[in-house]
Structure 1
Amino acid sequence: MYLLTLLTVIGAACAVPLAAPLTELLSAPTEQERAAAYVLPRDTIPTFYDVRLILDPDNEAYFTGAADIRILPFINTNHIVLHAMEMVINAADIEVFSERAPTVNLYQSHTLATDDTHLFRINLNQNMTILQPHTIRIKHYVGQYALNMFGVYVSTYTTGSTTYKLITSQLQPTFARRAFPCYDEPSFKAIFRTTIYAPQAYKVVRSNMPIRANELKPAVDGYVKHEFDDTLSMSTYLLAYLVSNLDYVDNAMEGPYKDIYRVPFRVYSRPDTQNTAMFALEFGQKNMVELEKYTEFEYEFPKLDKAAVPDFAAGAMENWGLVIYREVALLVTEGVTTTATKQNVGRIICHENVHQWFGNEVSPLSWTYTWLN
């Protein structure tokens, strides 16, 4: 009886038509093939970015930008593939030219994927010569602020009855492409030059590097220009931006926390909360001193900022030179914050400090190898 029942069930199952023909099932893409659809070809690589952003916290509808990307072709090709996400880029604003012939525009056409590959394909009217430097020039684009805090986004906080705005960013793992067109994979390291134009009302504008001494960019009416030094070679996901009126404590102040660490070290937080930033100022510096001893490598950037923002998707993010934290992950109120919470803040600060070597200096080839991070 049991055998008859089993045969009946098997027969019924076999009688049900397949959801797709067997030929389709056999020819369906493998997991590796599906993954390959998201991975950039290595026909060209970036070496240098010059990114200009106009960021206004009071205009939440959009931001605008421009970018020059210096690339090297590894093969003779008339195609360039990079990333761009939630952007409007017009054909009239795209140029591609070689270092040897900067007046000859090679651009022919482009496509911008609407699916989650975010591939930005540029077609040229002739091949680029192997290993001859070329520049992709995006003279203007319009980007969208992220509503989910992954990308460049607007955050708010309230003091008394007044609401204040700021702009910050979270570009890990794949959201630098939401800030500017780029080769948005960890292995495509390059040098970055950043300029931020912000309204005069927002006094604190920061990025990964200190302000540049020699100005290179033109002024833009209605905005204050903030030009930053060039970074070391780094991955796109480690870039960071802050446009705000936060205040700070630093290791240039007279007192017990002065020059504990050898590079300028600042902790940014809302105005009138600087007393809650003192633990991060002291522990963060001492921890960096010990990590340099442990690794026997100096921290390579010329400054280290830590910024507490009201809205942040992660606990903190190790952006090289400008580490962004949730307020609760960085600030400590003596006599109020519990010992366990204070210890956790210390662990998070240490975690982000360690990333300045493991992840920032040495990075995974792709997010497949995120354990390296």
Structure 2
Amino acid sequence: MASIEITNARKSYGAVDVLHGINLDIRDGEFIVLVGPSGCGKSTLLRMIAGLEEITSGDISIGGTVVNDLQPKDRDIAMVFQSYALYPHMSVAENMSYALNLRKTAKEKVASAIENVAGILGLNALLERRPKALSGGQRQRVAMGRAIVRQPQAFLFDEPLSNLDARLREQMRTEIRKLHRRLGATSVYVTHDQIEAMTMADRIVAMYDGIVQQVGSPLEIYDRPANIFVASFIGSPAMNFLEGTYQTDATDTNATNAAITLEDGTIIPVLSSAQAMSGQKITLGARPEHIDIVEDGSSPSVTATVELIEPMGLSTLVHVTLAGKPVKIFTLARPDLAIGGTVQIAFNMDKTHIFDRESELRLPPASEPVSAQKA
């Protein structure tokens, strides 16, 4: 396996710039997930690594070798596509062995490789079948098997699970992650599904509009999003956002008596100071699980209007309106609430985030370590 280094990589189609100077180091054996909405450039970047798209400028290195001018077949990578791309007239074994046969690999080695990989992926009983006789999950395993038998320097996955139903996607996520741990293979995985990114990645690369917005472990990105885009894209249910003004007590030199005044005048106290100035226009971000329904008045709370209640068995998702904005609350309790009634809610200010409204960058609390702020 090998590391992949991307240095100031740009991609343009005529006058249209698609990727704007991507810099990324992927370590040997690492599982990297490129995540973002459709059109953000993640698949284009993957195809540039594979050699299926020409790089406009910059460099891409695989295993220390610059591959800008190398053909895909000479880059020693294997790619798993969304569409499986299996040959319909070939059996499972023939599909998996195709690349090895092109290399004129000895028949004994081909047979041994197919047997080994089929055992890993649970395909032994399917080797004589053709793709039309396979389920979607089985076809995807064949596509992965075809990649694995080549023993490439790196594996590239282009939204390989998007054609599967929800239950099968969950199963295949687990299988791919177990396979990665077993093979120790350098892998780059593209998806628009943030749940896949959170559950599979060693590190996530969050992309938007052809720019890398943040790189970090799943929990680093979840707990300390760099900006509003990352905060809104990662997490399900999505983060709540409320616009307001950051205010501090002018007589408090430590700025511990800060508060956020929402647009309708609602005041939310802030227990620790953020790196914001009094009077600064900000956006408050709070994940649904970091807002509590308060029944006993034991903590500072604000009044919201109940709009919808979604019982989900283990948990309940409560939709309320605060300052004219929709807010979702995730709770493990089963609150007795009435649609159209009011409820007292409290924000866990140790977990909420403050973003500068103009730049949309997160303003870290003064108490946060510098290393965490840079994550």
Same fold (TM over 0.5): no
Q: TM-score, normalised by structure 2?
A: 0.24
Query: Whose relative contact order is higher, 1 or 2, with alpha carbons under 8 Å and at least 6 apart?
Result: 2
Q: TM-score, normalised by structure 1?
A: 0.24
The structure with the greater share of residues assigned to helix is: 2
